[in-house]
Amino acid sequence: MTIRVALIGNPNVGKSLIFNNLTGGRVHVGNWPGKTVEKKEGRCRHRGEDIQIVDLPGVYSLTAQTIDEMIARDYIVKEKPDVVVDIVDASNLERNLYLTLQLLELEANVVVALNKYDLAKSLGFQIDVEGLSKMLGVRVIPTIATTKEGMQELLDAIVEASKQRRRGSTLRYNERVEKIISRMEQLIQEDKLLAEAYPTRWLAIKVLESDEEVLKEIEKSSQKERILALKESLQKELGGDASVVLAEARYEFISGVLGKTVRGAKPLTVTDLLDKALLDKYAGIPVFLSSMWLLFRFTFDVSAPLTSLIEMFFGWLGTLASASIPNEQLAGFVVNGLLGGVGAVLTFIPPIFFLFFGLSLLEDSGYLARAAFVMDRIMYRLGLHGKSFIPLLLGFGCNVPAVMATRIIESDEDRIITILVNPLMSCSARLPVYILISSAVLGSYAAIGVYSMYLLGIALALIMALLFRRTILKGKPSPFILELPHYARPTLRNTALHMWERGSLFLKKAGTIITLTMIVVWFLSSYPWGSHIEESYVGMLGRTLEPLFRPLGFDWRAVVALFFGFLAKEVVVGTFGLLLGAEATGLPEALRSQGIFTPLTGFAFMAFTLIYMPCVATIAAIYRETNSLKWTLFAIVYSMILAYVVAFAIIIVGHLLGFA
Amino acid sequence: MVRTRNNQGILVVYALIMGLLYVVIGLAEFILAIWNWFIDPSGNLSLPYLPSRDLFGGFSSLTIGAVYLRSLDLLKGRNESLGFTLVGALLAGAYSVVYMLIIGADGLNAYLSHISGEEFTWEWLTQGTLETGILRPEIWLGLASLPLLILTLKNLESQKSE
């Protein structure tokens, strides 16, 4: 008879390596039924026994909140493998034993593979393997997957365990929790069908934790009403969130086990020290904000001379083109349309590349993952899923891949909220607009102006997420576990490579959609040929829309810039370049001298640019990812209303503070 | 063991001094900026050698100071609090480097303006985008944080070898 074995463990514990060691690489790869998650199966023979091994997805727990957890739990509950080999990282027992306890609650026939045993020893841990085995009530085998040590012993233990099945759970949490679990268990046992299909203690725990999948089973029970009524009263008795109370009980149990079976302490490492401060409850967020401010000063101020050089280059090119092209219309097209429009956009290559360089540096060092961890505390409270931070952070680069990155979020509600607020993150296309307007009207405080737009975007994203969560997408975000990578010293080559990968997208965009849009804007601003710009087609458009924006202090030129900025936000800068007749050089000066903005209206304009209607590519991405015209239209309409309200509020508050 | 204790004593005193300096400077910059931005925008309240409108710069210095001061937990025997001196020193050093880069960028900009026909002045060095140029205290405090970084790493090494 074949022994059916399931391999389970946290991610990065060496599970795949053990799977390959046991099966000798003879693997069948397929998909889990109805899922796109890879399923690996293999076989081996040991002591005359045929062993079939299934590699379950790497999971931290069995709460069934992710597809991976659902697959792993369903397999153990429904397929009932003969043996479940739980691979734990011996150097990180506290975290890994959490899954072990959940497997024992499930009354799985567990064998623990204590992997990375050599690493634990080198870190100074002395593990009493026998003691650990006794306290958990299962076989514990030290293994080193990389050198294949312990594999034969593990196979021996699998064969033995398959012949001596464990009966019932041996785990006992603290007295208060145990009393509550046993009261629920007694009631569940009254439903014979339920008690035969599932371990009753596990069902009791899951009912108390309000596990959705288990509650669906309870719905079918003859004791449904009594179980649900008892659940309510016991949850009150437990106090607080039952799943948190039970998680604490598990960690309390783990702490007791480790206290008796593990000696020695891991010496402090640089990673420990950095995490102590960077993940600190109080210091974490201020350090994150300070790092971001440093990044923006680097982006804005250090790149300034390179921007000046490009401006000078386009200025020189404009003079050359004016002098050497005799045809008036062609000269107008080259000087105003291409050099004035596209050139104005290209002058922002340095800050965009500097921003990506800084972000890559933070990402490659491992800090950004910590920032996600730190921000999760706020984000969870405001109704955003922890995993949302990654798409939101990507939004600083470009909202299109950021919207696509929301695929990592399992829950539809969490995902739609993240998609809806993602365009509020300041993508690199908005940076040229901020820099232009800030330089023009905020003088030496321009960097603060730019930084405040980034902060405003984050704050609005959080506020809107909270609002959506409380109104149209009610519910609680599901908790998430984030694996923090080790800190690493970033290399110049890798950082430069990442910078180029992201920055080159801007160059491609400048060569395609921005150039095409600028040609259209040039045409509309130059024809009827010979007319004053205010009488051109673009002037007519601006004048028509201007009254709508008068309360915000935007004149027709600003309105036209916003109108075409819908295609790509950089076009706002190009349109100003074209409308003001300024070559790339001196565009901020032209804005200033023509009095288009005061510091207050300029700030409101930046806020409007940040918030109003996502660019056309982002709208397409929203439609693709939500597959819903309703949500796409909602994203456009709410952002327009919000942009107007925020810009108007800035003007009002500014006036109250005495700004002109 | 004795060496570690001595090192840690020096380290705590050093972190305390740096922390207090950063907190005082950060607080002053932050209050000046709040005053000049929101309370009396038409006036220009200032203090010597400090920028008068750098709100976030002041906040960042305050953060560095607070991080340094949290390392006082070392006195309670919490060795992992060395993390606060490490992060404080790294952040202080990073600020110092970026501020110096900004001064360099200002200098380059002044030169570019000069070759475009504008008069060359040394304003970029004494004032510039940083407002107080090379005299900005965070530049020098960042450099003064370097020994703290070395002390922290040495302390960590000595703990490993014990």
- Closest Cβ opposite residue B95 in set A282, A294, A447: A294
Report which secondary-structure segment, H or E, holds A42: strand A38-46
ipTM: 0.95
Q: CA A643 to CA A641: how far, in whole Å? A: 5
What is the rounded average pLDDT of the residues A585-606? Answer: 89
Q: CA A174 to CA A182: how far, in whole Å? A: 12
All residues at 6 or more sequence positions from A480 whose CB lies less than 8 Å from its CB, including other chains: A376, A385, A386, A387
Tell which residue, A383, A405, A376, has the closest CA to residue A480. Answer: A376
Q: How many CB atoms lie within 10 A of CB A502?
A: 22
Q: Which residues of B, range 92-121, sit inside 8 Å of A by Cβ? A: 94-95, 98-99, 101-102, 104-106, 108-109, 112-113, 116
**CA distance to partner chain B, nearest, from residue A474 (Å):** 36
Better-scored residue on pLDDT, A238 or A75: A75
- Residues A64-111 have pLDDT tens digits of 777 788 888 989 988 899 999 999 999 889 889 999 999 998 889 999
- The percent of residues above 70 in pLDDT, for chain B, comes to 94
pLDDT for A62 equals 85
Q: Is A326 exposed, middle or buried (0-12, 13-18, 19+ CB in 10 A)?
A: exposed
∠ CA A104-A109-A115, rounded to 5°: 80
- The percent of residues above 70 in pLDDT, for chain A, comes to 95
pLDDT surpasses 50 at B52: yes
pLDDT for B140 equals 97
Q: How far is CA A18 from CA A85, A123, A195, A519, in A?
A: 10, 22, 35, 61
- Residues A284-342 have pLDDT tens digits of 999 999 999 999 899 889 998 998 899 889 889 988 998 998 888 888 888 888 888 78
Task: Name the pTM for this structure.
Answer: 0.72
Q: CA A206 to CA A243: how far, in whole Å? A: 9
- Residues A345-369 have pLDDT tens digits of 888 889 889 988 998 899 889 898 8
pLDDT for B4 equals 47
Tell which residue, B59, B70, B138, has the closest CA to residue B102. Answer: B138
Query: Cβ contact (<8 Å) for B83 and A304?
Result: no
Better-scored residue on pLDDT, A631 or A407: A631
Q: CA A375 to CA A387: how far, in whole Å? A: 10
Q: How many CB atoms lie within 10 A of CB B139?
A: 21
Tell which residue, B17, B38, B20, has the closest CA to residue B28. Answer: B20
Q: What distance lies between CA A431 and its chain's CA centroid?
A: 22
What is the rounded average pLDDT of the residues A516-526? Answer: 89
- Closest Cβ opposite residue A267 in set B84, B129, B160: B160
What is the rounded average pLDDT of the residues A188-195? Answer: 86
Q: Is A9 exposed, middle or buried (0-12, 13-18, 19+ CB in 10 A)?
A: buried
What is the rounded average pLDDT of the residues A412-437? Answer: 91
- Residues A287-299 have pLDDT tens digits of 999 999 999 899 8
DSSP A171: -
pLDDT surpasses 80 at B48: yes
Residue entry with tokens 């739609």: A416
Tell which residue, A100, A145, A98, A135, has the closest CA to residue A262. Answer: A135
Q: Which CATH architecture has domain A175-263?
A: Orthogonal Bundle (1.10)
pLDDT for B162 equals 63
Report whether A389 contacts A363 (CB < 8 A).
no
What is the rounded average pLDDT of the residues A397-402? Answer: 82
DSSP A198: S
Q: Is A408 exposed, middle or buried (0-12, 13-18, 19+ CB in 10 A)?
A: middle
All residues at 6 or more sequence positions from A73 whose CB lies less than 8 Å from its CB, including other chains: A62, A64, A106, A213
All residues at 6 or more sequence positions from A650 whose CB lies less than 8 Å from its CB, including other chains: A600, A603, A604, A607
pLDDT for B1 equals 38
Question: How many H-runs (helices) and E-runs (strands) does chain A carry?
Answer: 33, 9
What is the rounded average pLDDT of the residues B65-90? Answer: 92
Number of structural domains found in chain B: 1
Q: What distance lies between CA A398 and its chain's CA centroid?
A: 14
Q: CA A261 to CA A132: how far, in whole Å? A: 6
Chain A residues touching residue B25 (CB < 8 angstroms)? none
Cα distance between the two ends of chain B: 7
The torsion defined by the Cα of A534, A536, A538 and A540, in degrees rounded to 10, comes to: 70
**Mean model confidence pLDDT for chain A:** 87
- Which sequence spans correspond to the domains of chain A? 2-163, 175-263, 286-656
Report whether A152 contacts A126 (CB < 8 A).
no
pLDDT surpasses 60 at A512: yes
What is the rounded average pLDDT of the residues A547-569? Answer: 93
Tell which residue, A524, A535, A534, A521, has the closest CA to residue A570. Answer: A521
Report whether A425 contacts A461 (CB < 8 A).
yes
| Containing structural domain, residue B103 | 2-161
- Closest Cβ opposite residue B83 in set A273, A304, A305: A273
pLDDT surpasses 80 at A382: no
Q: How many CB atoms lie within 10 A of CB A119?
A: 16
Report which secondary-structure segment, H or E, holds A655: helix A629-656
Chain A residues touching residue B116 (CB < 8 angstroms)? 312
What is the rounded average pLDDT of the residues A422-448? Answer: 89
pLDDT for B3 equals 43
Task: Dig out the tokens for A101 from the structure.
Answer: 């306890």
Better-scored residue on pLDDT, B4 or B23: B23
- Closest Cβ opposite residue A302 in set B81, B102, B113: B102
- Residues A607-624 have pLDDT tens digits of 999 999 899 889 988 998
What is the rounded average pLDDT of the residues A105-122? Answer: 91
Tell which residue, A361, A335, A350, has the closest CA to residue A492. Answer: A361
**Looking at the DSSP assignment, which residues form a beta bridge with residue A44?**
A51
pLDDT surpasses 50 at B92: yes
Better-scored residue on pLDDT, A396 or B135: B135
- Residues A19-74 have pLDDT tens digits of 999 998 777 777 766 665 677 899 999 999 999 999 998 888 887 777 788 888 98
Report whether A332 contacts A527 (CB < 8 A).
no
pLDDT surpasses 70 at A582: no
pLDDT for A539 equals 92
When pLDDT is cut at 50, 70 and 90, the band that residue A481 belongs to is low
Q: Which CATH architecture has domain A2-163?
A: 3-Layer(aba) Sandwich (3.40)
Tell which residue, B32, B25, B37, has the closest CA to residue B63. Answer: B25
Query: Cβ contact (<8 Å) for A290 and B41?
Result: no
Chain A residues touching residue B52 (CB < 8 angstroms)? none
Chain A residues touching residue B56 (CB < 8 angstroms)? 289, 293, 448, 451
DSSP A586: T
**Mean model confidence pLDDT for chain B:** 90
**What is the identity of the amino acid at A461?**
A
pLDDT for A164 equals 80
Kindly identify which residue of chain A lies nearest to residue B100, measuring between CA atoms.
A302
When pLDDT is cut at 50, 70 and 90, the band that residue A537 belongs to is very high
∠ CA A332-A336-A337, rounded to 5°: 95
When pLDDT is cut at 50, 70 and 90, the band that residue B2 belongs to is very low
Conformational region of residue A84, where left means phi above 0, alpha means psi within -120 to 50, and beta covers everything else: beta
Question: How many H-runs (helices) and E-runs (strands) does chain B carry?
Answer: 6, 0
Kindly identify which residue of chain B lies nearest to residue A656, measuring between CA atoms.
B38
Q: How many CB atoms lie within 10 A of CB A1?
A: 7
**CA distance to partner chain B, nearest, from residue A281 (Å):** 12
Check if B70 contacts A (Cβ < 8 Å). yes
**CA distance to partner chain B, nearest, from residue A461 (Å):** 21
Check if B43 contacts A (Cβ < 8 Å). no
A110-115 and A38-46 as β-strands: parallel, antiparallel, unpaired? unpaired
Q: Is A396 exposed, middle or buried (0-12, 13-18, 19+ CB in 10 A)?
A: buried
pLDDT for A482 equals 67
- Closest Cβ opposite residue B86 in set A267, A277, A301: A277
pLDDT surpasses 80 at A373: yes
